Amino acid sequence: GAVVSQHPSRVICKSGTSVKIECRSLDFQATTMFWYRQFPKQSLMLMATSNEGSKATYEQGVEKDKFLINHASLTLSTLTVTSAHPEDSSFYICSARDPRTQTQYFGPGTRLLVL
């Protein structure tokens, strides 16, 4: 199937700093990508929809100023967690829809730990 990558796979940062996570679709172009967050023993929670060339659409309860999303090209979306705090520690997963099959593929995830 199609491949979606994320970088970094794991990041540890100090409280108050910002962290950027990249999501790339490697063999297809994606006008739309999605960002999810997953806490231990819980399901994935959709945070936002990233639209190439336009503003992201955030789900209810997700702070757009805290989780900045940039979808500057058809193969790259970035999520920046600004002024991170320990409660932002989580597993962040992106996905992209392959237009050839209409199937959504997920990245391997990024483990964020805020100290």
Partner 1 sequence: LAKTTQPISMDSYEGQEVNITCSHNNIATNDYITWYQQFPSQGPRFIIQGYKTKVTNEVASLFIPADRKSSTLSLPRVSLSDTAVYYCLVGPPGTGKLIFGQGTTLQVKP
111 forms part of the interface with partner 1 (CB under 8 A): yes
Q: Which of 77, 90, 64, 85 is nearest to 35 (CA)?
A: 77
Collapse the DSSP code of 50 into the 3-class scheme (helix H, G, I; strand E, B; otherwise coil) and give the result. strand
29 forms part of the interface with partner 1 (CB under 8 A): no
60 forms part of the interface with partner 1 (CB under 8 A): no
Query: With contacts defined by CB under 8 A, how many residues of the chain interact with partner 1?
Result: 24
DSSP 17: -
- Alpha-carbon 35 to chain mean position: 4
Yes or no: say if 95 and 108 are a contact pair by the CB < 8 Å rule.
Answer: no
Mark the segment that binds partner 1 (CB under 8 A) among 11-19, 60-68, 69-77, 105-113. Answer: 105-113
58 forms part of the interface with partner 1 (CB under 8 A): no
Binding site for partner 1 (CB under 8 A): 1, 4, 6, 32, 34, 36, 43-46, 49, 91, 93, 95, 97, 102-109, 111
